[in-house]
Amino acid sequence: MTKTLILFDVDGTLTPSRLTVSDNMLTILKQLRQVENFTIGIVGGSDLIKQKEQLGEENLRLFDYVFSENGLYASYMGKLLEKTSIASEMGEDNIKKLVNASMKYMANLDIPVKRGTFIEFRNGMINLCPVGRSCSQEERMESYKYDLEHNIRKNMVTALSEELKDLNLTFSIGGQISIDVFPKGWDKTYCLKFVEDKFDTIHFFGDKTYPGGNDYEIFNDNRVIGHTVTSPEDTISQLCEFLQ
C-alpha cells in the first residue's frame, strides 16, 4: 500500500485569512485522517501561536505534521523536530538593513489606512505589512481590495528585491495584507526535508500558488503534486473528490 502525505496551507485554504476553521472543514479532515495510508499535515507562514488561534489547539492534533513558519518550526505527533532562527542565519547587520529599507519604503507609501505593527519579527521570517497588522478585520478587507487594484505589495516586493539583492532574500506575498521575507530556500519547500523520504506521494493544497505567492515554490516542486484552491469551501469540495 502506497504511503501518502497530504499537506495543507492554512490561510485561505483551511480557514479564511486570519479567521478560524469551520466545522465542515474539521469533518473532512477527520475523514482524511481515518484513511489507513494517509498522513496529513499543515505548512504555513505563520508561527505556531497563530496556527493554534486559527485551528484550535485541540484540532491541531488532527495533523501528524505541523510546520510553522514554512517548517522552520517543525513537529511530528506533537514532538519538536527542529527549530531554526532567522536571526542566527542573517546576522544583526543584515536584519537592520532589511528593517531600515522596509520602514523607509512603507513610510513613503500613500495608502488609505495605516495602523500599527508594520514589521513583525518571527523566528523564521520577517513579516512586512503596509497597512499594519493591528488593523481591524474591516480595514484588512478594504486594504486587501485596494492592494488587488493598485499592486501595493507586488510593487513593494519589486523595489525591495532590487534594493536588497545582495542579501539573498525571498520576498513572498502571503495572506491578504503582508509580505514574508526570509533567506532563499526557506520557502515552504523547507519542510520537505522532514518527509520526502518517508512517503511515496506528497500532495499539497494551497491558494497562493501563483508566482510571488507563498505557496508557489512547494506547489511547483517536483517532489509534490500541487492542488490550487480558491477558498476553504473549494478545499472541501476538492477533498470530497479526493476521497472518492
17-67 residue pLDDT tens: 889 999 999 999 999 999 999 999 999 988 899 999 999 999 999 999 999
Do both 113 and 46 map to the same domain?
Answer: no
Say how far apart CA 61 and CA 8 lie, in whole Å. 14
* CATH number of the domain bearing residue 99: 3.30.1240.20
Do both 66 and 97 map to the same domain?
Answer: no
Has 64 been annotated as catalytic? no
pLDDT in tens, 75-122: 999 999 999 889 889 999 999 999 999 999 999 999 999 999 999 998
Q: Report the phi/psi class of residue 24: left, alpha or beta, with left for phi > 0 and alpha for psi in -120 to 50.
A: alpha
Element (H, E) at 6: strand 4-8
Do both 73 and 111 map to the same domain?
Answer: no
pLDDT bracket for residue 1 (50, 70, 90): low
pLDDT of residue 174: 77
Do both 237 and 202 map to the same domain?
Answer: yes
Do both 199 and 80 map to the same domain?
Answer: yes
Number of domains in the chain: 2
Distances (CA, A) of 219 to 54, 191, 192, 210: 23, 13, 12, 9
Do both 145 and 26 map to the same domain?
Answer: no
Residues 6+ apart with CB under 8 A from 114: 130, 131, 132
Can you give the residue range of the structural domain that contains 77? 4-84+187-243
Residue with cell 485596494: 146
Q: Which of 143, 163, 183 is the last residue of a domain?
A: 183
* Three cell numbers, residue 223: 517532489
Has 11 been annotated as catalytic? yes
Do both 15 and 45 map to the same domain?
Answer: yes
* CATH number of the domain bearing residue 212: 3.40.50.1000
pLDDT of residue 166: 97
Do both 199 and 224 map to the same domain?
Answer: yes
Do both 78 and 93 map to the same domain?
Answer: no
* Given 9, 147, 180, 207, the catalytic residue: 9
pLDDT of residue 2: 81
pLDDT of residue 212: 82
* Given 11, 64, 180, 187, the catalytic residue: 11
